[in-house]
Amino acid sequence: MAATCLHPSPVNDAGLSDTQRDQAYRRASAAGMQCYFAWIATLDPATLSYATLPHTGMAALYTPPDGKSLSEAKSDASLVVVGTVLSSKPLTTSVATQATVAVSQVFKGQAPSTIVVNQASHLEPRDNFQSIWIVDASNAPLLIPGDVVFLLLGTAPVGLYQLSFTGTYYVRNGRILALPLNPFGDTVTGLSEDDFSAALTNA
Backbone region of residue 176 per phi and psi (left: phi > 0; alpha: psi in -120 to 50; beta: other values)? beta
3-state secondary structure of 1: coil
User: Side chain identity at 178, as an amino acid letter?
Assistant: A
User: Side chain identity at 152, as an amino acid letter?
Assistant: L
The CATH class for the domain spanning 57-202 reads mainly beta
Q: CA distances (Å), 194 to each of 108, 117, 130, 169, 182, in order?
A: 17, 24, 43, 13, 20
Residue 139 in contact with residue 179, Cβ under 8 Å? Answer: yes
Express each pLDDT in 72-108 by its tens digit. Answer: 999 999 999 999 999 999 988 888 999 999 999 999 9
pTM value?
0.87
Longest Cα–Cα distance of the chain, Å, equals 65
d(CA 102, CA 117): 11
Express each pLDDT in 123-159 by its tens digit. Answer: 998 887 788 999 999 999 999 999 999 999 999 998 9
